[in-house]
Amino acid sequence: MTKRVKGSCTTVLVGKKASIDGSTIISRNDDGHEALDPQRFVVVQPEDQPRQYQAVISGVKVDLPDNPLRYTSMPNSILTNGIWPAAGINSENVAMSATETITTNPRIQGLDPYVEGGIGEEDIVTLVLPYIHSAKEGVERLGSLLTEYGTYEPNGIAFSDQDEVWWLETIGGHHWAAVRIPDDAYVVAPNRMNIDDFDFDSADTLCSDDLKALIEENHLNPDFEGYNLRHIFGSSSIKDTVYNNPRAWYGQKYFTPEVEQDPMDQDLPFICRANRKISIEDVKFVLSSHFENTKYDPYGDGTEAEKTLIRPIGINRNHNVHILQIRNNVPAEIAGVHWLAYGANTFNTVVPFYSNVNDTPACYKDATGTFDLNNMYWLSCATALLGDTDYNFYVDFRNTFELEAMSVYRGIQNETDKAVNDQTDVQKYLEAANEKLADESLKRQTKLFGDMVISGSEHMKLRYNLND
């Protein structure tokens, strides 16, 4: 098998009654092993979807149906390790994000080891998203593929439609479990097994047919009562206390600040309720955060040991952040919104691209391995790199940029929404709106970068106060 590539992402899920406007939201930082890995934002048409798929990493071959749907996708620019589509929304307004790398333990691995020739993160969106008409159907299709082909890694995958949000976690080589997120709840999921209490008899859970028997017959349950899948199939390691648990802690601290918790706690809850309705801006803040206003902030005032103790959510290895919103208060033609930004999240802003289109803007679509400040991926990475050199100096530039840019994007979206019923060609209309959004984004990110360069040049160490 080709060398495996691992990601280390963070996921936020929001039910329709937990969001500010009744939308379902699934979102994720697509983090990689390396700091840079150019990404693209594209639309895959039915005629371009393969009928027989072959993975690069594992070599697995999968015959695919003849009736794929159109879908948005975010593949790698450099395809050495395969497509890695990351996430998208299909033409039936079903969204999917894959994957969140999670954890496992030797008890399940000894019973159901990984399958070297199975499916993995490289493949999952391509194999599932073009063929599903609901979030639950996404769980069922992926579950059947895992049963048939197996997987070589542990992953968490999110699905949503206008009504439901589902979260699936793989277990061993062939097993899986999924939970429907309650409408009034949210989830912050780092790189660990996240599902805790699991009711095998609930209509809001799905799993491998033999999962309960696997647990019982092999004495896998460490608890005296109930079934906590994190305890049964996950890890509880020292690494979790500094790498994973604090990310869940900070997200929960932001959404539910009245609940006091330890950032290293191994039993932070999976399903949570916020103290307010959650906005896109809230989700973006959490996915960009570096433990602001705590001693753990790498840019903060803690000791060096505290500032480097735990892994931030916003990090140099953020390749993209996507927030997939399926709206309920608008016509179906404009319900799907694929919010997107590239690079380390601390110095970018998400843009609300309509998903019901046949093409995407060039500056978001055409990144290559060559550095190019006319491309949003590379421009975003360059801005974040400069900002990292003196965060406290540049943060006000970032704050002003984000407020002004998001206000403009929201204005374009509002205008586009209001006039959609007057259009004879909705897709062309939405493509034009997306181009306008992309133009604004490129212009404003370029201005931010330029302002930072101009102001920062006055603070370089290579200077002397006496003029010639």
Name the residues annotated as catalytic: 9
Distance between CA 19 and CA 17 in Å, rounded?
A: 6
C-beta separation of 189 from 26 below 8 A: no
How would DSSP label each residue in 68-104? Answer: PPPEEE--BSS-TT-----EEEBTTS-EEEEEEE---
CA atoms within 13 A on the CB side of 431: 13
Q: Which letter does DSSP use for residue 424 in this model?
A: S
3-class DSSP state of 411: helix
C-beta separation of 177 from 108 below 8 A: no
Distance between CA 453 and CA 393 in Å, rounded?
A: 12
Length of the chain: 468
3-class DSSP state of 186: strand
Distance between CA 405 and CA 407 in Å, rounded?
A: 5
- Per residue in 258-269, is it b (16+ CB within 10 Å) or e — as a string? eeebebbebebb
Six-digit token string for 292: 């602001």
